[in-house]
A and B are shown apart, each in its own frame.
Chain A
Amino acid sequence: MIAIVNYGLGNIKAFQNIYNQLDLSYRVSCTPKDLEDADKIILPGVGSFDHAMNLLNNSGMRDMLEHMVLVKKVPILGICVGMQMLANSSEEGVTKGLGFVDGCVKKFSGDEFGELPLPHMGWNEVDTLNVDGIYAGISDRAKFYFLHSYYFECEDNAHSVASSDYGKRFSCAIKKDNINGVQFHPEKSHENGIQLLNNFGRL
């Protein structure tokens, strides 16, 4: 059973629609009890980092989430801000992240970035280093939908498993053991996204 963590943010409905179509069982989880028998966890998120962290911290689910991911090693997929929350901290706010993967979330900026509009919005190519796991069956440089102004900078580059270009090359997917994160929105990326969510659901 895939638990979709509902702490008040993210397009929960889009995941439900896709998992209905794929005929994979899921549960929209609002309490720790809803999480405890999950064998996969999806952590969605949109909006600002602090707002998302505060909502999660106040949801009552954080301790159970940590237990499931760090102790029981249940696979988790953080999406967009849900991926950023896996980091230690973000330049966007002052609240601490979950710290599941060492890294800091940074804002696109600087000379190399030039005058590109922010947020980074639209379809961009994803170069995956990983051809198996959740990327199985997805071609290299496949396009996914992005909508964000901040990106995850891993402390250890080995945890960065895909990258994309927007003024600079940035890490758009991370993986450390059972912990996965993607900056793009698989739930809104046509067949590539559905494939990724299907792969994750069947890990």
Chain B
Amino acid sequence: MLAPRLIPFLLIRGRGLVKTVKFANEKYVGDPLNAVRIFNEKKVDEIVVVDIDATVNGQEPDYKLIENLAAECRMPLCYGGGITSSEQATHILSLGVEKVSLSSQAIIQPNLVKTLSNKVGSQSVVVTLDVKKKMFGGYEVYTHNGTQGTNQNPIDLAIKYQTLGAGEIVINSIDNDGRMGGYDLKMISSIKEKLTIPVTAIGGCGSMSDVASLVQQEGIIGAGAGSMFVFKGKYRAVLITYPNEDKKLSVLNSYKPNHVITELK
């Protein structure tokens, strides 16, 4: 049986790892390569690394750092941040990365999703939507680290990117980021139910019981988390953690599959 995925999301600024709260108040949490080595040991399902400076500062992705990260990873790696062309994305994939994530650029040039998926296959193309609650109800997608509104709702955009060839949608809740109070389950459900491609949720996860709530509601899904894997205790001491295999599977496999397996004759 396929298990839902439990995925650390690492944010890079400069060449260091940081963690934010509501996309601000960042705290330095360490060296990215060292973190990846520790996550290797802990046998994480996948890892997502996002350079949160690149797009905002209009920088090229840091290819050397990406190459070094990919060389360390014994699990699939997804990279996002600062990708503006399919040439850059293809180059990143050639460094040993499995998936590239587009966020702001998917809004600015939606056809990049299509061009890229035709070129490298949809399995390697992820679109990340940074979503914020609107003051009077509903949701809106933001870009540039949550600083620019797009006036578009995440459901329409997610369907659009699926049609353009994205192989996965990451739904990131800006409101819940870093607060460790649980996922925005209602929002995730409203988007995921409209899609046929895999979905990963991030934003708000503070404990394995938050992961359990997500997979019990959604079944096969990627459960992303940042703070939960890098902070420990109420004073948010920096400590990289990840549940052991038994603990992880007892939570991830706690959902009821909605399909019946047919045997191969």
Contact = CB atoms under 8 A, between A and B. Distances in A.
B120 A46 contact: yes
Nearest to A114: B259
A143 B46 CA distance: 13
Interface stretch (B8-16, B71-79, B172-180): B71-79
Interface in B35-94: 40, 43, 45-46, 67, 70-71, 73-76, 93-94
B124 A46 contact: yes
Contact of A190 (B70, B74, B97, B195): B74
Contact of B264 (A51, A117, A169, A188): A169
B96 A17 contact: yes
B96 A14 contact: yes
A17 B124 CA distance: 20
B71 A118 contact: no
A117 B199 contact: yes
Interface residues of B, number: 44
Q: Is the interface of A mostly helix, strand, loop or mixed?
A: mixed
B184 interface: no
Contact of A188 (B2, B98, B198): B98
Contacts of A149: 123
B244 interface: no
Contact of B3 (A14, A46, A143): A143
Interface string A140-172: 000101111100000000001001011111110
A185 B73 CA distance: 13
Interface string A111-122: 011111111111
Nearest to A124: B2
Contacts of A146: 2
Interface string B253-265: 0000011111110
A112 B260 contact: yes
Nearest to A122: B5
Nearest to A6: B94
Interface string A12-23: 111001000000
A185 B2 contact: no
Interface of B: 1-5, 40, 43, 45-46, 67, 70-71, 73-76, 93-98, 119-124, 167-168, 195-199, 220, 222, 258-264
8 contacts: A48-B121, A51-B121, A117-B220, A123-B3, A124-B3, A165-B2, A167-B259, A190-B74
Interface of A: 11-14, 17, 46-48, 51, 112-125, 143, 145-149, 160, 163, 165-171, 185, 188-191, 193-194
